[in-house]
């Protein structure tokens, strides 16, 4: 475990493969440093505005946050650190919520989406969602992901 501003505790050129799933801010300089020449970084990142339909339902518009985690910006940062992007794929995947219990569950599991979430605090919004869902209209959000493959 390391802190955000600390170097990875590995020697230069230690690995043929570095992988990650959902890094918050990839440290491209450190990834480059620990990869051997020809080594590969292969990861799934969360993309821009992932699940924001649900997040903004509770928090209101978040225009600045919607622009974060842009795959092209991340690719540019990786290139600036000396990596070559060999593949970059993006996907938007439907998240369909048919009952309010599923919404409560995901917001308790992904606590960073609505940091101050509680059933009591958001009771009004949850009751409105419950009414909509009981009439047969699910809540739909879009998860955003990108797959990054880079080489040193």
Q: Which domains does the chain have, with CATH numbers?
A: 15-151 (3.40.50.150)
Give the pLDDT band of residue 11 (cuts 50, 70, 90): very high
Give the pLDDT band of residue 4 (cuts 50, 70, 90): confident
What percent of the chain lies above the pLDDT cut of 70?
A: 100
Looking up tokens 């092209």 gives 72
Whether residue 99 is predicted with pLDDT greater than 80 in this model: the reply is yes
The sign of the torsion formed by the CA atoms of 113, 108, 4, 13 equals negative
Alpha carbons 6 and 22: distance in angstroms, whole number: 19
Whether residue 6 is predicted with pLDDT greater than 90 in this model: the reply is no
Cβ atoms of residues 129 and 103 within 8 Å: yes
pLDDT at res. 3: 78
The whole-chain average pLDDT of the chain stands at 95
Q: What digits encode the pLDDT tens for the residues 14-27? A: 999 999 988 888 99
Give the pLDDT band of residue 105 (cuts 50, 70, 90): very high
pLDDT at res. 23: 87
Q: What digits encode the pLDDT tens for the residues 38-93? A: 999 999 999 999 999 999 999 999 999 988 999 999 999 999 999 999 999 999 99
- Compute how many other C-beta atoms are within 10 angstroms of the C-beta atom of residue 134: 11
Comparing CA positions, the residue from 122, 39, 133 lying closest to residue 84 is: 39
pTM of the predicted model as reported, rounded to 2 decimal places:
0.84
pLDDT at res. 1: 72
b/e for 5-23, b at 16 or more Cβ within 10 A? eeeeeeeeeebeebeeeee
Whether residue 2 is predicted with pLDDT greater than 80 in this model: the reply is no
Strand partners, 35: 15
Comparing CA positions, the residue from 50, 82, 54 lying closest to residue 67 is: 50
The sign of the torsion formed by the CA atoms of 121, 123, 128, 133 equals positive
């Amino acid at each position: 475990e390391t802190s955000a501003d600390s170097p990875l505790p590995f020697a230069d050129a230690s690995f043929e493969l570095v992988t990650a799933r959902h890094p918050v801010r990839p440290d491209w300089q450190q990834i480059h440093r620990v990869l051997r020449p020809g080594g590969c970084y292969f990861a799934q990142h969360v993309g821009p505005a992932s699940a924001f339909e649900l997040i903004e339902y509770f928090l209101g518009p978040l225009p600045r946050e919607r622009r974060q985690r842009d795959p092209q910006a991340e690719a540019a940062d990786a290139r600036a650190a000396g990596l070559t992007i060999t593949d970059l794929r993006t996907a938007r995947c439907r998240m369909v919520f048919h009952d309010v219990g599923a919404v409560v569950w995901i917001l308790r599991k992904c606590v960073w989406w609505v940091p101050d979430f509680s059933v009591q605090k958001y009771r009004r919004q949850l009751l409105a969602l419950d009414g909509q869902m009981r009439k047969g209209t699910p809540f739909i959000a879009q998860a955003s992901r990108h797959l990054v493959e880079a080489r040193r």
